[in-house]
Amino acid sequence: MVSLFAESLTCPPLQCSVAEIRAGLPLSREIAYRWIRCSDEELPDLLSAAVAAKERFKPKVITYSRKIFIPLTNLCRDYCGYCTFRRDPDEAGAHTMTPDGVLAVVREAEKLGCTEALLSLGDKPELAFPEMRATLRRFGYKSTLQYLEAMCTLVLQESSLLPHPNPGLMSAEWLRRLGAVSPSMGLMLETTNAALLGPGAAHDNAPDKVPKKRLRTVEEAGKLNIPFTTGLLIGIGETPEDRVDTLLSINELHRHYGHIQEVIVQNFRAKAKTRMRNFPEPTRGDMLRTIAVARLLLPNVNVQAPPNLSAPYYDDLLDAGINDWGGVSPLTPDFINPEKPWPHLEQLRIRTERKGYRLQQRLPVYPEFVATVISRPGLLADKVRAVADADGYARGLE
């Protein structure tokens, strides 16, 4: 834990950097450490600088993606302390969707104007569970990633939706294969603090949450020029300084490869029946400070926060410089946070407009990355072209 009092003799006073951040000057690590712990009195300065940065990046607009959530399998070999999604094969609710099941949800979603099929799943369950190996064999696949690739292809071939897979760690080869059937994909970095892998911590017994491995996946995606979503999970035992370090690691990769389309700032919510059910949740102030610092550290990257995890006061997050609400489904629940329903789209629009912004539907791939995807000939490019308007947003659905 850093003591601000002890540091105040050596570090520049926070007030000195107000003019600098308002002018859009880059935030150093040291100054970011201090802003992320700013007092309530200093918070308005931080927020107004963050909103000014957001307006320089994408003025007057807040985006969202109309999506359906496809929980392809909730079997997972990891045991994150906060997760209610995962199951062992013998647990109630353990489920792997069939191709017909995927197609049925996709057909419904098309009728509701969805353009994103978010495929979420546990990480490599077949390595831990013979039951998953048997299921995959029955479907005709050797691995979960191979099955995922087939389902992304099915979505592309059979519907107007665009897949956005979120399967956990991926090798360069799997990124390449999935990148051929999805315009974008994602992996939450969550945190660069490896101490959270320790006994009793959030990522104890979660071998796929090793920060270096996750950073490697994000980097390999960069080498392949894949539009990539990543982000932070805050409140899982990391310090505010860890959040800054995590943001700076993402920024370093983005500066090198230019492929980070979106950084999500997600807040931990304590859920019954999890190891971390009694863990304190981040406060509204924690969220505002982290989002604002994210916006200032990544001035040209889309910053998103999920509205359902900050209900009923989610519109406050607009005051910290987000420019996107993420995927919002008119059809399926948030299977990762099923007790937190998404706001009705009309409500989202009203709240967004009340703050002076226009709500605009985007595709899973952000407008500035659409040209990259459609420059590669093939079915994926054709499908993206069919649903994108001239500016790269979702065509004619607003």
Give me the residues that bind ligand SF4 (CB under 6 A), please: 76, 78-80, 83, 85-86, 122-123, 168, 206, 208
From the centroid of its chain, how far is CA 229? Answer: 6
Gap between the Cα atoms of 251 and 241, Å rounded: 15
Is 63 or 266 the residue whose CB approaches ligand SF4 more closely?
Answer: 266
Tell me how far CA of residue 86 lies from CA of 17, 91, 229, in angstroms: 44, 10, 21
To the nearest whole angstrom, how small is the minimum distance from the Cβ of residue 209 to ligand SF4? 7
Buried residues in 38-51 as b, exposed as e (16+ CB within 10 A)? beeebbebbbbbbb
- Nearest alpha carbon to residue 293 among 62, 31, 13: 31
Residue at 68: amino acid letter: I
To the nearest whole angstrom, how small is the minimum distance from the Cβ of residue 119 to ligand SF4? 13
Is 281 or 368 the residue whose CB approaches ligand SF4 more closely?
Answer: 281
3-state class (DSSP) for residue 267: strand
Query: Running DSSP on this structure, what letter comes out for residue 75?
Result: B
To the nearest whole angstrom, how small is the minimum distance from the Cβ of residue 74 to ligand SF4? 7
Structure tokens at 33: 């450490």
Is 210 or 331 the residue whose CB approaches ligand SF4 more closely?
Answer: 210
To the nearest whole angstrom, how small is the minimum distance from the Cβ of residue 269 to ligand SF4? 13
Is 45 or 126 the residue whose CB approaches ligand SF4 more closely?
Answer: 126
Is 116 or 208 the residue whose CB approaches ligand SF4 more closely?
Answer: 208
Q: What DSSP assignment string belongs to 331-361?
A: SS--SSSTTSPPPPHHHHHHHHHHTT-EEEE
To the nearest whole angstrom, how small is the minimum distance from the Cβ of residue 2 to ligand SF4? 28
- 80, 87 contact by CB (below 8 A): no
Phi-psi region of 200 (alpha: psi -120 to 50; beta: other; left: phi over 0): left
Burial group, residue 23, by CB count within 10 angstroms (0-12, 13-18, 19+): exposed
To the nearest whole angstrom, how small is the minimum distance from the Cβ of residue 84 to ligand SF4? 8
To the nearest whole angstrom, how small is the minimum distance from the Cβ of residue 73 to ligand SF4? 10
Is 160 or 205 the residue whose CB approaches ligand SF4 more closely?
Answer: 205
Angle at which helices 43-57 and 284-297 cross, to 10°: 50
From the centroid of its chain, how far is CA 189? Answer: 9
Is 83 or 348 the residue whose CB approaches ligand SF4 more closely?
Answer: 83
Is 34 or 203 the residue whose CB approaches ligand SF4 more closely?
Answer: 203
Burial group, residue 361, by CB count within 10 angstroms (0-12, 13-18, 19+): buried
Is 167 or 299 the residue whose CB approaches ligand SF4 more closely?
Answer: 167
Is 208 or 286 the residue whose CB approaches ligand SF4 more closely?
Answer: 208
Gap between the Cα atoms of 202 and 238, Å rounded: 9
3-state class (DSSP) for residue 139: helix
To the nearest whole angstrom, how small is the minimum distance from the Cβ of residue 140 to ligand SF4? 24
To the nearest whole angstrom, how small is the minimum distance from the Cβ of residue 301 to ligand SF4? 23
To the nearest whole angstrom, how small is the minimum distance from the Cβ of residue 127 to ligand SF4? 12
